[in-house]
Amino acid sequence: MATATTATTAKSTGPVVVTKPQQDDREYRYVELPNKLAVLLISDPEQDKSAAAMDVNVGHLRDPDDFPGLAHFCEHLLFMGTEKYPNENAYMQYLSAHSGYSNAFTAVEHTNYYFEVGSDHLEGALDRFAQFFIAPLFNPDGTDRELHAVDSENKKNLQQDGWRLYQLQKDLSHPDHPFRKFGTGSLVTLKEQPEAKGLDIREALLKFHGEYYSANLMKLTIAGKESLDQLETWAHQMFAAVPNKNAPIPDVPATPHPLTPTELGFAVHVIPVQSIRSVELLFPFPSFADRYHSHPEGYLSHLLGHESEGSILSYLKQKDWALSLSAGNGSGGRNFDFFKITISLTEEGLLHVHDVATIVFQYIAMLRKEGPQQWVHEEVRRLSAMNFRFQEKSRVSNYVSQIAGSMHLFAPQDILSGHYLMEVYDPEAISQGLTALDPANFRMTITAKELLTDGANTADDDAEIDEDDAKAAAAAKKPAHPLTEGHDDIEWKTAQVYGTQYRIIPFSSDFVKKVKKARPIDALHLPKANPFIAENFDIELQRGVPHNKMLLLEDTKLLRTWYWPDVVFKVPKVVIEMRLQVPQLGVSPRQHVEISIWLAMIRDLLSDEAYFAETAGLNYSFQAPDLDRLMIRVTGYNDRATVFLQQLLARIKTATLESESKFDNIREGIKRGLVSAKARMPMNHAQNAMAQLLSERSWTVDECLDVIDTITLQDMHAMPQTMLSQLFIETFVAGNMDAFKAQAVARNAAQVFRATPLSALSRGTRLRTVMPHPTELVLYEQPVPLADENNSAVLTHFVLGDLADDQTRALARLLNQVAVEPCFSTLRTQEQLGYIVGSMLARRTNYIAFGIAVQSERDPMFVQWRISVFLNKLYKTVKAWAPPQYADFLRHRSALVSQLREKDKNLAEASGKYSAAITGGTYFFDELEVDATNVNALTARQLMLLMERTLGVGEPKDGTVLYPTQIAVHLRSQKLAEKEESWGPEAQAWIKEFRTGASLVTEDTVGQFRASHFLGPQPRPRVPLSEYDYEPQEGQVPATDASKTKPKL
C-alpha cells in the first residue's frame, strides 16, 4: 500500500502529492525555483549521510558530429574547478574530509551528477556542487589532462564484449539517427580528428555547455536531515543562480526509428573476445514512456523472459539448445525504444540457431492467440505493488541519483512510484507491443567464436610463425561451422571504435518464410500462477527476546545456529544463510571443477521453482565461495521463504542428472566461463594472482581447464553423496522470524541431510593465509593473457599487522581514509596513469594490508615507482600535520568515525556485517563500534609512525633502513613497448633497487612460493561463543504488530 505526502510548489501552483512507499518515513516536497529548476526535497532526521543529485536532460545523442563523446567529456570537466572554488580538487577534498564521495555518468539522453556527505556538512557540499552548473572553469590545463582520462576510460572497455556489442548495435542503426553516435569519446574523436579539421575542443565544450546546461533542462534532488523548509531555503540560495536559457527539450523525434527496414532482415555474425555463444533478436519497439501507469513492456518481458514449464527457455532447455534467456526493452530514448531477446546457446543450439528463433516466434504467436490476460497483469501488478510497498532505504547517493533521473520521466506525484506501480490494465498497449515483435521486423546478432573463418582477423594475425607451426595449425584446423557455409563471398568488417569483427548475412528466403508462418505449439503456453507470492505481511514482535544483538540458539557437533531478530527495519523479510562445512572441499583442481558442475546442475534442476521465487521477491544462491564450505542463501519475504528453502535443500540432497547431453551442456558452460575468465580486465587478473599467492587453497584457470574434459556424468553421481555424508551446518537467520522458527530452519536442514558430524579438529576451521616473511618484498610478474589488451595492472599490498589487533586495525582504517582522495587525484587526475586507480584495505585471515591498485597503459614498474613517490609525498603531508594543519587530521579522523558509525539502511546491510564476522571466523560482531572508539583516540604521530614502519617511507633512523613487507603483483600487457631509459635516472635507480630486493614469483613458481612460507593460524573468536548463548523461552511468543497489518495487495 502506498501513502502520499503533500507539498506546494515554490510558485504556489497548487499542492503536489508525492506517492511514497508505506515503509518510507521520510518527508518529501516538490518545488520549482524561479529559474524553472525542478527540485525534490527529502527530509530524514535519522539519516547520517546526506546527498544531492542533478540530472541534466542531455546525453551523448546530442554530441556534435565532429566531437563524439563531448557530453561525456563535459561531465568529466565539471569536476575540475569552478570560479568560486578554483582548486580542481576542492570538491573532492571537501567530500573526502567529511565521509563523502561523488560520481557521475552520461547516458543517451541524460547526464547525472551525484554525491553524498556526512549529514552535518550538506550545506558546504551543496554550495560546491551548485557551482558546477553556475560557473565551471573548463580550465585549459585540466581540459588536456581530462582528455587522457576519457581516453583511458575508453581503452578500459575495448576488450569488453558488452561494450563492443552495444556499439555495434549503434553502428548498424540508421545512418541519420543520432543513436549511432559513439558516446564515450577518446583522444582520437575529441582531439586528433577535430584538430585535423582545425576545430577546438574547448570552444565546442563551452558551446555545448552553454546550449544545454540550462536550469529548465535540469532536475535536482536533495536529501538531508534538515527540515523541508531549511532544505528549500538552501535550494533557493545555492541553485537559483543556475542560468535558465529556456532551452528546448532535446528530444529525438519518434520517426524515423534507428531501425528502419534497411537495418532489419539480416543476421550479424560477431566474433567475441570472451567465450560467448549467444543469439539476440532485436526489434524496433515503441516508447511507452507516457504509459508508465500500465507498463505494457513489463507485461511482455515477464512472459517472454519466464523460465518455468511452457516458456521459451524451458522448451529450449529440453532440446539442450539453451542455457539462459533474458527479454526486455531498453537502451533507447524517450521517443524510441528496442526490445531484445537474448539467448545463451549450447553448442547444439548454435547449430539450430534458426530453429531457436522460430521457437521464439511460435511463443509470440501463442501470446497473440491468447491475447492480453488480465490475470497475468494482475499478478505482475501485485508483485510490483508489494515491492514498492516494502521498499527499504538504500545508499542515499544512489537513491537521489535515481530520483533525479525519474523526475524527467514521470509526473511530480509519480516520481517515486513510476518505475514500480502498474495500476492500469491496458490491453491495447500490450497488443501494440506484441505487434512490434514481428517476424518481418527484426534482426539477429549471432555471437560465437565458432563463426571465425579465414576472413576474420584474430589477435595473432600479425604474429610470425614458422613453417612447422603453420603445418600443425592447418592440420588441427576445425572444419568451417555450418552457419558459415555458403557465405565465403561476404566479407568480414572491422568496427571503427572497438575493432569488433563482424559480417552481415541476409536472411534466407526459407528462414523468412519459416518465422512468418510460426504458429503456436502445445509445448509453449502461459505460466501457471506463481505459488511463491507472499500474502502474510505481519511483523512479528519478539517479546522478551534481546534486541539488536546476535544470539546463539544452538551449538552442537552438527549445528550452530545464529539469530538476529529485526526490530529496526520492521519489514516482512528474512535472510537465511547456511554454511555447510564438508571435509576436504576443493582440495584439487578436479574436485573444484566437479563442485562447480554440481552447483550448476542444482541450479538448472531448480530453475522452474527458482524463477517463480525470484519473481516473487525471493532470491537464492548456492555457491562454494571460499573453497572451504558450501553456502546456501535465501532472502526475501518470509511468508514463503522456508517453503522455497525446503525445496532447495531437497534438491541438493537428492538431485541426480541422468541426461548425458544435459551434463555435457553444463560442463561445457563451466568450461566456457573459465575460458572467458582469461579475457577479463588486467586488474581482475591481478586480484586473482594475489589470491593465488596468499591462499592456502586456490587453483588457476589453466589448472581447471586441464581436467574439466576428463570429468564424466558417472563421476558426478558419487561425488555429492560422499561429500555431504559428513557436515557441520552453521546457520544464520536475520529478520522477521521468531527464534523457534529460526531454530527449526537449521534443525530441518539436519534432518534433510542426515549427515554425521565433522570431527572436532575440522569443525569450524577456515582456510588459512600464506604469511609473507617480515620485510619480504614479493614481486609477482605475469603477462596479461589477452594479446590485444593495451592495459597493464599493478596491485601492491603493504602488510600493516595483525588483523586481530585493535590498534593496528584502527590505524589501517585511518591510513586508507587519509590516502583515498590524494591517491586518486595524484595518480589518476594529475599523473593520468590510468582510469582505474584507488587505495584500499585488504583483509586476510591473519593480517590487514594497505593496497593501491592501478590499471594503466604505462609499464607496471614505472607505475610501481610512481606509487612509491606518492606514498612518500603522503607521508610528508601526515608528518606536517601540526597546528594549524592538525585540523586536517582531525577532519579525517572525524569523517572516519562517522563512517564507521553510519547506521544500517536496510536488513541486507545490517545482516551483511554479522554474516561477514561469521564467515571470517572472528565472530567480532561489534567490530565497527570498537574500531570507531579506537580511531577517535588516534594521533597524527601514531599514523606517521605506522607509515614509517610499514610503507618504507621517511628518513632512515640511525642509518637503519626500514623495509616494508610488501607483495606487488604486475600484470604486463603483451603490447607494451615502453623503455626504462625514458623514465630518467631517478626512476631507473629506484627500479634497480626494487628489483634487487624482490623475490620474483611467476605463475609457474606460485606452488614453490606457498610451500616455502608458513600458513597463519586459524582465526580466533573475539570472545567465547558461549557469551552469545540464548535459549528461547515458552513465554516469548511473537505478537503481531497490528500497526503494520494492512489489507492484501
Read out DSSP for 127-186?
Answer: HHHHGGGT-B---HHHHHHHHHHHHHHHHHHTT-HHHHHHHHHHHTS-TTSGGGS--S--
The x, y and z cell numbers of residue 32, run together, are 520549482
Angstrom distances, CA of residue 784 to CA of 55, 681, 781, 796: 38, 9, 10, 17
Strand pairing category for 726-735 and 847-856: unpaired
φ/ψ of residue 715, rounded to 5: -60, -35
**How many CB atoms are located within 10 Å of the residue 371 CB?**
11
H or E segment and range at residue 238: helix 228-239
* Confidence at residue 1036, expressed as pLDDT on a 0 to 100 scale: 52
Annotated catalytic residue within 27, 46, 75, 577: 75
* Cα gap 15→31, rounded to integer Å: 10
Domain architecture of the chain: domains with CATH: 2-239 (3.30.830.10), 261-394+406-461+483-516 (3.30.830.10), 540-764 (3.30.830.10), 777-1011 (3.30.830.10)
Full strand arrangement of the beta sheet holding 836-843: 836-843, 847-856, 792-802, 966-972, 777-783, 998-1001
What contacts 601, CB < 8 A, 6 or more positions away?
655, 657, 663, 666, 716
Quote the pTM value. 0.92
pLDDT value for 1040:
46
pLDDT of residue 494: 97
Q: Which three cell numbers stand for residue 795?
A: 596491485
Q: How many CB atoms lie within 10 A of CB 441?
A: 15
d(CA 1021, CA 645): 29
The pLDDT averaged over each successive group of 10 residues in the chain (1049 residues) is 45 72 95 98 96 98 97 95 93 94 96 97 98 93 89 95 97 95 97 96 94 98 98 98 95 86 97 96 95 97 97 97 95 93 97 98 98 97 96 96 97 96 97 97 97 64 48 56 89 96 96 97 98 94 78 96 93 97 88 94 93 97 88 97 96 88 93 93 96 92 96 88 91 95 95 93 90 95 95 97 96 97 95 96 95 97 97 95 84 95 95 96 97 97 95 72 86 91 92 94 94 94 95 57 41
With H, G, I as helix, E, B as strand and everything else as coil, classify residue 1021: coil
Task: Say which residue the cell 585540523 belongs to.
Answer: 887
The CB density around residue 193, as the number of other CB atoms within 10 Å, is 15
Look-up: residue for cell 509519480? 414
Task: State the CB neighbour count (10 A cutoff) for residue 219.
Answer: 23
Cα separation, 81 vs 136, in Å, equals 6
- Gyration radius of the chain's alpha carbons: 30
d(C-alpha 314, C-alpha 528), whole Å: 14
Burial string for 669-692 (b: 16+ CB within 10 Å, else e) reads bbbbebebbbbbbbbebbbbbbeb
Q: What is the pLDDT of residue 1046?
A: 39
Residue 75 falls in the annotated catalytic set: yes
Handedness of CA 876, 892, 909, 227 (dihedral sign): negative
| Helix or strand holding residue 573 (H, E) | strand 573-581
Three-state SS for 798-860 is EEEEECCCHHHHHHHHHHHHHHHHHHHHHHHHHCCCCCEEEEEEEECCCEEEEEEEEEECCCH
Instruction: Count the Cβ atoms, other than its own, within 10 Å of residue 752.
Output: 17
Contact 190, 74 (CB under 8 A): no
Degrees to nearest 5, angle at CA 628 with 914 and 844: 60
Task: Find, among 335, 336, 67, the residue nearest to 182 by Cα.
Answer: 67
